[in-house]
Amino acid sequence: MSVSENDPSFADEKCSEAEDRYRNGRFDESLNAVDAAFRAGFESAALWNVAAASFMALGREADAERCLRRAIELYPASCQAHSNLGVLLSGQSRYAEAEAEFSGSA
């Protein structure tokens, strides 16, 4: 059942939809679900994190990094966002930055 864009549960629904699309390899559709939540005025670390994962899967690392940094701004204690950022930075041979993300001292 779809909820109205004005309903706070809309963001949760779109986040779940985005995660489902991501798990099924439908990365552009995942990003569309996240974008729908953003356009409706909702923002959360979870939405930014799933956007980052989709961007990473599409090879858009700069976009993924931007999303992960926003997720961390919104929820600094997010182990998932810090870990994902650490993986991304390691893949770019930015080891000192990655270590800071993994150790939580970023």
Q: Which two tokens stand for residue 24?
A: 């099924």
Residue 17's nearest CA partner among 49, 58, 53, 47 is 47
Task: Specify whether the CB–CB gap between 64 and 56 falls below 8 A.
Answer: yes
Confidence of residue 106 (pLDDT cuts 50, 70, 90): low
Q: Tell me: domain 9-103, CATH 2.60.40.420, correct?
A: no
**Residue boundaries of the structural domains of the chain:** 9-103
Task: Kindly report, residue by residue over 7-32, the tens digit of the pLDDT.
Answer: 778 889 999 999 999 999 999 999 99
Q: What is the pLDDT of residues 69-104, one digit of tens each?
A: 999 999 999 999 999 999 999 999 999 999 999 997
User: Among 28-42, 47-61, 92-106, whose mean pLDDT is lowest?
Assistant: 92-106
| Separation CA 3–CA 16 (nearest Å) | 13
